[in-house]
Amino acid sequence: MRSLLRTPRDLVRDASLVWLASGVVGVSFGAISVAGGLPLWVPVVLSLLVYAGSAQLSAVGVLLAGGGPLAAAATGLLLNTRTVAFGLAVADVLGRGRVARLLGAHLVTDETVAFALAQEDPARRRAAFWISGVGLFAVWNLGVLAGALAGGALGDTARYGLDAAFPAVLVALVLPTLRKDPAVRRAALLGAAVALAVTPLVPAGLPVLLALAGLALYGRHGKTVTA
């Protein structure tokens, strides 16, 4: 019983690292958007309704470059197609109710899915998903609002190297799974190789999507193991 009571506290502690990194990127996104000439409400509404870091950054990049809303929306949708695979991976975690699935689908992100799947048992995965998802949503939106209000005063946090905190935390989350499962390691290596190979050839964001090709190797080895 004591371990069950400790579980949410442990998850909050671990998820707080992701929240911190997300808040830093959110502040940067809000500041860059407003400093680039967009109204304050644009990054704020995008964060509430779209809630997808890479898609939001790409959409705002298109708008700031002179593109129209349709081009920005199309870019965001293309980059967000990867969340279809993420949604399938955590379908059993969200629960059976329609409200839970609807809210859970909005909270599906790279970080939350990675954090949930890193847990060992179903109950802990479910708790990890909701704790990480709700916390990340709140911190991201507060960060974007703070950055938008600050406007151009903060500039781009990339100059301080703070943007590196986000991918670093994500790597730390998936590292235990990579160590335990050789099939996952092989799939991850193939996905990384594909992403690196196509990075000079395709627009930003697409390498991550194409890296899903590594799942084919995982599926094949998974069938071999179970057979």
- Quick: pLDDT tens for 182-191: 887 888 888 8
Mean pLDDT of the chain: 76
Angle at which helices 110-117 and 2-35 pack, to 10 degrees?
Answer: 160
| Model pLDDT, residue 225 | 39
Q: Mean pLDDT over residues 37-47, rounded?
A: 87
Beta carbons of 51 and 25 less than 8 angstroms apart: no
pTM: 0.66
CA torsion angle 134 187 204 70 (round to 10): -60
DSSP letter for 172, please: H
* 210 neighbors 202 (Cβ within 8 angstroms): yes
Close Cβ partners of 41 (under 8 Å, ≥ 6 residues apart): none
pLDDT of amino acid 35? 79
pLDDT at res. 107: 86
Q: What is the pLDDT of residue 3?
A: 43
Judge whether residue 165 has pLDDT over 70.
no
Tokens 């594909």 label which residue?
194
- Interatomic CA distance for residues 142 and 135, integer angstroms: 11
pLDDT at 173 over 80: no
**Between residues 203 and 69, which one has the greater pLDDT?**
69
Evaluate whether 169 touches 17 at the Cβ level (below 8 Å): yes
User: Is the separation of the CB atoms in 213 and 187 below 8 Å?
Assistant: no
Give the burial class of 5: count Cβ atoms within 10 A of its Cβ; 0-12 exposed, 13-18 middle, 19 or more buried. Answer: exposed
Between 102 and 5, residue with greater pLDDT = 102
Provide the pLDDT confidence category of residue 226 given band limits of 50, 70 and 90.
very low
pLDDT tens column, 99-124: 878 888 888 888 888 888 888 788 88
